[in-house]
Amino acid sequence: MTGLSDSEHLTMIDNLEMIVRSDRVYESVYDKDCKEVIEWTQYFTKRANISEIFREISKRLSTKKYLHAEIVGTFWHHFSALAPQVMSLAAARVDNNLMRHYIVQIIFEELGTRNHRLIHPDLFLDAIESIGISSPRRQELVARHLSKLGFNKLSQVMDEAKSNSEILGVLLGFEIDANENIQTIFDALSFNDEATTKIKDTPFFKIHRIAEDEHIRLDVANFLRFCQTEVEKEKFFLGFDKAVSFWTHYWNAMSEIIDSEALV
């Protein structure tokens, strides 16, 4: 199978919104307009207490600085590269192919769907390099601070999940604040008008402004589809809360890194 030519690639970029909106798993029951999906999405959003996750980082990003772009850009790229691995671990650990089918939909999108040139971590790297965040600077930040972000907890939470329901809960917990993650990253990278102009129409941000609600819907649908009993729901909640705890740690650690780098 040959890759896309440059002209085909540019055509795909031009039609990115149509492609992302149309290339979705077939769903006739738990779609975005389903009452249960809407109500449970609201429940999980409230349970996650999303404003608290971002309380400290929002304070730092209220002031526009290139340093913030360097730090948030560097470590989001690391997360973006790890995310498909963690989700693949989840797909391997559930015990039936129907669950696996729904889990891999998001993995497939993270890895570019039908175009390897749209692999999300690579798109994000293109975005941050377009505003001057260099490889040597990223390596410097990684050497000093990578261990503080808690990336080891990602696979640990998945490894420790003891049931299908808990695994599915972890996946929703990783997605529930997706829109806020993307906005926070954008706020950090748009440190001046020129940077804002460069990144706002990049494929990475175009895709993620469209796709995140669908990812959340997919994971909420998995809850409704596969967690019917009270015991299954409680296990799902357990996994969900663990994943949300990761995000709180991640963004608080990012705030601390910003503070320490400001003193260097």
107-151 pLDDT tens trace: 988 998 878 888 999 999 999 999 999 999 999 999 999 999 999
Distance CA 72, CA 131 (A): 13
- 147's tokens: 């261990």
CB 189 within 8 A of CB 124: no
∠ CA 50-201-38 to the nearest 5 degrees?
35
Helix segments in the chain, DSSP class H = 6-14, 16-22, 35-48, 50-53, 55-61, 66-93, 97-110, 120-130, 135-145, 152-160, 164-175, 178-189, 193-200, 203-226, 230-262
pLDDT at 12 over 80: no
Residue 264 — pLDDT band, cuts 50, 70, 90? confident
Helix segments in 94-202, DSSP class H = 97-110, 120-130, 135-145, 152-160, 164-175, 178-189, 193-200
pLDDT at 18 over 80: no
Distance CA 107, CA 76 (A): 17
What domains sit in the chain, N to C, each tagged with a CATH number? Answer: 29-262 (1.20.910.10)
Residue 210 CB coordination number (10 Å): 15
pLDDT of residue 116: 85
Mean pLDDT for 71-95 is 95
- Looking up tokens 């779609």 gives 31
pLDDT of residue 231: 98
Residue 31 — pLDDT band, cuts 50, 70, 90? confident
Q: Lowest-pLDDT range, 63-67, 110-114, 186-190, 253-257?
A: 110-114
